[in-house]
C-alpha cells in the first residue's frame, strides 16, 4: 500500500506473494534434503570407524615417540637413557632429551612435546 496524498492505493501483491511462496518452498525442500547429503558419508552415522580408548592410543603412540604427559621415569623405562641429556633452561625449566630418532621436551618432569628427526 502506498500513501499518495490523502488517498491510499492498493498494489497487486498476488504475483509477488506467489513468487515468495515458490522461493520459500524451494528453500524448505533444500533444507530438508541437506542433512541427508551432508551426513551420507559421516562415519559416525554409518559406524565405519572405531574409537580407541585414550590409554590405548597412548600405548600405540608410545612405540614411536613419548606422548604428552609422560614423566621422565616413564620415558626412560620405555625408551632407555637418551644419547644426550640437556639441562633445563628458562622459566619454567624446559629440558631436552635427545634420542637417535627423536627429541623429547620436558617441562619440569613431564613431556610437553616430542619431535621425530628427519
Low-confidence winner among 24-33, 47-56, 100-109 (lowest mean pLDDT): 47-56
pLDDT at 62: 45
Per-residue confidence (pLDDT) for residue 19, from 0 to 100? 77
**Whether this model's pTM surpasses 0.85:** no
pLDDT of res. 64:
84
Distance (Å, whole) CA 94 – CA 108:
7
Q: For residues 81 and 90, is the Cβ–Cβ distance under 8 A?
A: no
Mean pLDDT lowest for which of 52-56, 60-64, 68-72?
52-56
| pLDDT tens, residue by residue, 75-92 | 999 999 999 999 999 999
Contact 112, 105 (CB under 8 A): yes
Amino acid at each position: 500500500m502506498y500513501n499518495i496524498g490523502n488517498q491510499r492505493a492498493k498494489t497487486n501483491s498476488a504475483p509477488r506473494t506467489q513468487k515468495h511462496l515458490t522461493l520459500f518452498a524451494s528453500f524448505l525442500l533444500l533444507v530438508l534434503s541437506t542433512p541427508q547429503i551432508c551426513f551420507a558419508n559421516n562415519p559416525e552415522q554409518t559406524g565405519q570407524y572405531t574409537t580407541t580408548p585414550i590409554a590405548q592410543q597412548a600405548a600405540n603412540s608410545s612405540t614411536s615417540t613419548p606422548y604428552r604427559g609422560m614423566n621422565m621415569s616413564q620415558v626412560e623405562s620405555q625408551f632407555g637413557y637418551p644419547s644426550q641429556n640437556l639441562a633445563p633452561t628458562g622459566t619454567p625449566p624446559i629440558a631436552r632429551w635427545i634420542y637417535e630418532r627423536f627429541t623429547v621436551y620436558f617441562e619440569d618432569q613431564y613431556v610437553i612435546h616430542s619431535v621425530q628427526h628427519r
